[in-house]
Chains A and B, each alone.
Chain A
Amino acid sequence: MAMDSAKQARIGRLKWHCRRALLELDIVFQRFWELKGDDLDEQTETTLTRLLALEDHDVWDLVNGRAQIDDPALTTLAEMLRNTCVPEPVKH
């Protein structure tokens, strides 16, 4: 089913806000969108919006597990980004 235009605009905005200053985050979020597609549920949309409002270094520290935050929803999203966005192991 096609998304309504309001949601399409919100998703477009979120995708643009995933363009970051650090390449590490660009790649993590690129994989996130490839994995999840455009049709995010409301909670993920809200939590992602909050995560993207943080500074780049702070987002990266959360995603790579070097920092914790007292916010269960952000923690869950950061863990999801860390665990589900790992590429297939390379074969030398």
Chain B
Amino acid sequence: MSYTVRKFDAVIVGAGGAGLRAAIQLSEAGFKTAVLTKVFPTRSHTVAAQGGVAASLGNSEEDHWHWHMYDTVKGSDWLGDQDAIEFMVRKANECVVELEHYGMPFDRLDNGKIYQRPFGGHMSNFGEKPVRRSCAAADRTGHAMLHAMYQRNVKVNTQFFVEWQALDLIRDAEGDVQGVTAMDMETGEVVAFHSKVTIFATGGAGRIFYSSTNAFINTGDGLGMAARAGIPLEDMEFWQFHPTGVAGAGVLITEGVRGEGGILRNASGERFMERYAPNAKDLASRDVVSRAMVTEINEGRGCGPNKDYVLLDITHLDPATIMKRLPGIREIGIQFAGVDAIKEPLPVVPTCHYQMGGIPTNYLGQVVIPGADGPNTVVNGFYAAGECACASVHGANRLGTNSLLDLLVFGKSAGETAVDELKKGAAAHKPLATEAIEKTLARLDRLNTQKDGANVHETRLEMQRSMQKHAGVFRFNDLLKAGVSKIMEVADAVAKTEIKDKSQVFNTARIEALELDNLIEVAKATMVSAEARKESRGAHVRDDAHDTPETPDGRDDKNWLKHTIWHREGNRLEYKPVQMKPLTVDTIELKKRAY
């Protein structure tokens, strides 16, 4: 198999919010910039973000970045790096105003300023009371954001390679990054994109789980490529789950359903939340509800032939109320569960929603790994931003509306740092590491010639079911231990996947096999990291991490206030300290996370 070479100053993989924001920075500075994307930019998963973007503009009431910082550190259960968090919240206003100038149609107040609404976890005066901090464009914030940034990129001549599947990172013997190999889906042609700087903005990998709110494109391509090239992954045990996804489909049922009086029931019809949260009942926090649901299922009180879901019941509500206050819920029930929610309860399970971990970076967007300069040694020429990266601002759990902020701030930051490096002349085209490209060609050749191999669809399902069972929202020591062996068995099958269709043009079977190569790296990282972390923190909740005075809610700061670093080579873990020192203010000291 042959390949051609194309040279750019910068190559960005992914055209969601982070990739588009980074590209603006590079193209505006006059650098020849290529953006590779497997789907058209405005069909990236950023479109699905509805809640808004957090910024302490203070348009409706007093607000301050320091309060936003406190909320984010607390939300992260103190695993977030406080330098990166301070950087993000202080850049928020600037990034939102820039977006406004790009043409983002934010909702407005009567005085013309950007309208802001409250959102869970965002408070004023260091946790005192809710504050209006989220800037939104109706319920299409992500969609509007992508359009504004795509148009800006067109204006500044960013070169888009649409429907190109990135294959592998090109990393030379010194460990420097020189670009990526990629395949044009339309022709099957393989091209080495030889660049001075490479930015990954490939989004999350929520499809590792059986039940996921993520679109099918969220296959962790950047994480898989990084892992295969020897870049470790950080804090992969931390995944945010939403309690109510439609069982078997993953489609999100908004919390508003329980807010309007929806009740969770087990197989015997019992309102089980009364036992777990006698006061808040069905309106308890996301993690409490999710844990209760999993406990019911694990103890045999789940519903359906496999007893693997519980029911969300709104049949006692007035149909007119359902139609008025919960528009769309009836359609979702009919479309994805075959159930009319007015007449029958909906089958629901806790569902994977967001990946907190990722490719380790500093707040400048540079990828950092253990090396000669300590645990945060910069990888020359390599940057990452958005959900695929771990800056780490979300730590062990993310606040709503901080994800769009993350991709704006760190997309821009990665772009700015790359521009600085290019202007200094520090980045240059090094002689192309052809041996790295040969590895990609060998991988493709293996897939094309595999005989009697594993079925891609079945192997992916096996991975997803294993992740859901062994490393879901509520985790158990025995299941995690068994899960490590299980996921390595699945990985063996992934190494031998076979495709029947060998055609070159829009061969979706080949793309799905390549995506599975990426997903399995994320799955392994998640399982191994989760098994090893013997505490509960944020979204990582273990049955055997007990609530004691020294370990409130199972959080063990003495032993586990540290980032996990997973290496693909040898399935090896190491740890690095959390950055507790912010850039300019005092450390937000550890305390129990309570709302």
A21: min CB distance to chain B, Å: 4
Contact yes or no, A9 B347, CB < 8 A: no
Q: Please, how many angstroms separate the alpha-carbon atoms of A24 and B186 in the complex?
A: 26
The A47-73 residues at the B interface (CB cut-off 8 A) are 55-57, 64-66
Name the interface size band of chain B: 35 or more
Instruction: Output the least CB separation between B18 and chain A (Å).
Output: 15
Q: How far, in whole Å, are A20 and B47 apart by their CA atoms in the complex?
A: 9
Interface 9-residue window, one of B193-201, B279-287, B500-508: B500-508
Q: Are B214 and A64 in contact (CB under 8 A)?
A: no
A82 to B336 alpha-carbon distance, docked (Å): 11
A23 touches B503 (CB 8 A): no
Chain A residue at minimal CB-CB distance from B340: A89
CB neighbours (8 Å) of B331 from chain A are 64-66
With most chain B CB atoms within 10 A of its CB, the pick from A8, A55, A87 is A87
Closest residue to B217 on the A side, CB-wise?
A19
Interface contacts (Cβ under 8 Å), in number, total 108
Q: When the two chains form their complex, are residues B304 and A90 in contact, meaning their CB atoms are under 8 A apart? A: yes
Restricting to B228-257, which residues have a CB under 8 Å from any CB of A? 247-251
Q: Smallest Cβ distance from B20 to chain A, in angstroms? A: 13
Q: Are B338 and A92 in contact (CB under 8 A)?
A: no
Q: How far is it, in angstroms, between the C-alpha of A84 and the C-alpha of B582 when the chains are bound?
A: 55
> Which residues from 210 to 227 on chain B have a C-beta closer than 8 Å to any C-beta of chain A?
212-217
Q: Across the interface, do A85 and B335 meet the contact criterion of CB distance under 8 Å?
A: yes
Say yes or no: is A77 at the interface (Cβ < 8 Å to chain B).
Answer: no
**B216, B247, B507: which has the most chain A beta carbons within 10 Å?**
B216
- Answer whether residue A39 sits at the interface, using C-beta atoms and an 8 A cutoff: no
Q: How far is the CB of B469 from chain A (nearest CB, A)?
A: 20
Which residues of the other chain, A, contact B336 by a CB distance below 8 angstroms?
24, 27, 87
Query: Quick one: given A8-B503, A64-B328, are A24 and B335 in contact (CB under 8 Å)?
Result: yes
Chain B 42-55, CB-CB to A under 8 Å as 1, else 0, gives 11111110000000
Say yes or no: B345 contacts A92, CB within 8 Å: yes
Cα–Cα distance between A15 and B163 once the two chains are bound (Å): 12
A27 to B207, CA, bound (A): 13
- A22 touches B (CB below 8 Å): yes
Decide: A21 and B334 in contact? CB cutoff 8 A.
no
> Interface residues of A, CB < 8 Å — how many?
32
- A90 near B213: Cβ-Cβ < 8 Å: no
How far, in whole Å, are A16 and B509 apart by their CA atoms in the complex? 10
Answer whether residue A5 sits at the interface, using C-beta atoms and an 8 A cutoff.
yes
Type the 1/0 row for B336-375, where 1 means its CB is closer than 8 Å to any CB of A.
1111000001010000000000000000000000000000
Instruction: Kindly state the separation between the CA atoms of A12 and B339 in the bound complex, as whole angstroms.
Output: 32
Q: How far is the CA of A13 from the CA of B186 in the complex (A)?
A: 8
**Cα–Cα distance between A92 and B507 once the two chains are bound (Å):** 39
Main secondary structure of the interface of B (DSSP, over half): loop
**Highest count of chain A CB atoms <10 Å: which of B42, B331, B332, B345:** B331
Residues of A within 8 A of B140 (CB): 57
Most chain B Cβ neighbours within 10 Å, of A9, A15, A55, A90 = A90
CB distance from B525 to the nearest CB of A (A): 23
Q: B136 to chain A: which residues have CB within 8 Å? A: none
Q: Which of A12, A20, A91 is in CB contact (< 8 Å) with B506?
A: A12
Once the chains bind, are A15 and B506 in contact (CB under 8 Å)? yes
* A92–B42 CB distance below 8 A: no
Chain A residues with CB under 8 A of B305? 91
Give min CB distance, A10 to chain B, whole Å. Answer: 8
Docked pose: A55 CA to B331 CA in angstroms: 19
Partner of A56, one of B43, B345, B347, B508: B43
Determine which residue in A5, A16, A23, A87 has the highest number of CB atoms from chain B within 10 A of its CB, and name it.
A23
Question: Which B-chain residue is minimally distant from A81 (CB atoms)?
Answer: B335
Closest-CB distance, B74 to chain A (whole angstroms): 30
**How far apart are A46's CB and chain B's nearest CB, in angstroms?**
17
Q: Per a CB cutoff under 8 Å, which of B42, B327, B345, B503 touches A12? A: B503
Among A9, A22, A88, which residue has its beta carbon within 8 angstroms of that of B338?
Answer: A88
- 24 A-B residue pairs with CB within 8 Å: A5-B503, A5-B505, A8-B503, A8-B505, A9-B503, A16-B185, A19-B39, A19-B215, A21-B45, A21-B46, A21-B47, A22-B47, A22-B215, A24-B335, A27-B251, A27-B336, A28-B335, A55-B42, A57-B140, A64-B328, A87-B336, A92-B267, A92-B303, A92-B304
* Known A20-B43, A21-B47; further 16 A-B contacts with Cβ < 8 A: A5-B505, A8-B503, A9-B506, A12-B505, A12-B507, A16-B163, A19-B215, A21-B48, A24-B251, A27-B251, A64-B332, A64-B335, A66-B331, A90-B304, A90-B339, A92-B267
List the 7 shortest-distance A-B pairs measured between CB atoms, nearest first.
Answer: A12-B506, A21-B47, A9-B505, A89-B338, A64-B331, A87-B338, A26-B216
